[in-house]
Amino acid sequence: MNDDRPISVEEAARALCGDASLLTTPLLLDVGRRTLAVRSNSRTLLDGLRRYFSAYLAPDGVPDIEVLAIEDAPPALLLNFLDWARELGKSGRKDSYVDLLGGRLVRKVRTGMVFLQSETWRIAAGPCEANDNQVINFINAQYMNYLQQQDWLICHAAGLVRGEGAVAIAGFSGGGKSTAMLSALEHPALDYLTNDRLFIRRDEEGVQAAGIPKLPRINPGTIVHSERLSSLIPAAERKHLLSLPRQVLWDLEEKYDVMIDELYGPERLRREARLAAVVILNWRRDGQQPLRCERVDINQRQELLGALMKSPGPFYQDAHGRFLGDQVPLDPEAYLAALGAVPVYEVSGTVDFDLLAGHHLPALLGLNSEEQSTGSAP
């Protein structure tokens, strides 16, 4: 494809699908408020996705959304892709895009994977088996689009649930929200809602929080200090990692998926709950003061919203079929209005996962001191 004229979604779909022969049986997923079908020409890919989404499989039903995943070489599309600007604090090229007549093509710069996002076609094409995490993200993007089209706000936060109440854990980049969330999951009364994409919407009863079926992707620094997660890394490598300086280990970027249902139990995943509190990690690894978890007035501390607000990203298509650009500013007022009277807490001082996950987070979800110390479910 080498043409300066704007191409249509149908032309792009034909170019990405080529002569691929799709397998007969799709993968059906119950992600909460929607049922998704994933079809592919790769049995290996579908088998991998089936294991990843094992807690979200739908036995049958008519899907609301269909995603195609075409295993092939990186598509050779000679189009004028534009770089998508990275978020503040992140560098390097990651995504590029081309807007079409009625859709958008997004290309991953590093892997060459290409995605078609439109109201009629949702296609991932390229070396899908080698880059299954990008396919997983694209699948989740479809549910994220649906939620945002229904006036849910996207938050860069993890989520824990007890009963019908949820606490959101937000933090600036590298702040440790995944480690805090997984540490708190050691308490059997707490369940998993989401890792870093949380959606909130105010209604007449309060604020609802929804997660997406995206499992935590964590670095070695989180794994090596957890007995439960230690199986993710071979013993010899774990020993080597523990010998590294703390700062080096903290900054090491090498992602591992955490299968919540396999490691914590099959009944520990939740889809929605009422938002009981928001915790914003504003602590420091070199902090000199003890950890403090104090309620703040978010209207007076709006700089903390930077840890919670999240751009919808290049795949987002609104209810009218329109795409956002990468320079559209986030709206703090929308988040302030959605949070309303939800208590917001700032965690400051030195990083202390044991104190935060063992005491403060359970307490915000109503566990008393005895229940926290014994680890017994209420």
pLDDT at 58: 94
Q: Are 171 and 307 in contact (CB under 8 A)?
A: yes
* Residue pLDDT tens, the chain, 378 long: 555 567 899 999 999 999 999 999 999 999 999 999 999 999 999 999 999 999 999 988 899 999 999 999 999 998 999 999 876 655 567 899 999 988 999 999 999 999 999 999 999 999 999 999 999 999 999 999 999 999 999 999 999 999 999 999 999 877 889 999 999 999 999 999 999 899 999 998 899 999 999 999 888 888 888 889 988 999 888 888 888 887 788 778 888 999 999 999 989 999 999 999 999 999 998 888 999 999 999 999 999 999 999 999 999 999 999 998 888 889 999 999 999 999 999 999 999 999 999 999 999 999 865 555 444 333
Q: Which of 6, 68, 73, 5 is nearest to 41 (CA)?
A: 68
Can you give the pTM of this predicted structure?
A: 0.91
| Sheet arrangement for strand 114-118 | 27-30, 35-40, 65-71, 122-126, 114-118, 103-108, 95-99, 82-83
- Residue 201: what pLDDT? 97
CA nearest 339: which of 254, 249, 256, 278? 278
Please report the pLDDT score of residue 369 as a whole number.
Answer: 56
pLDDT of 155: 97
Q: Identity (one letter) of the amino acid at 316? A: Y
- Domains of the chain in start order, with CATH, are 9-149 (no CATH), 153-216+258-374 (3.40.50)
- 114 three-state secondary structure: strand
Task: Give CB contacts under 8 A, 24+ apart, made by 293-299.
Answer: 293/345, 293/346, 293/347, 293/356, 293/360, 294/345, 294/346, 294/348, 295/343, 295/344, 295/345, 296/344, 296/345, 296/346, 297/344, 298/336, 298/339, 298/344, 299/336
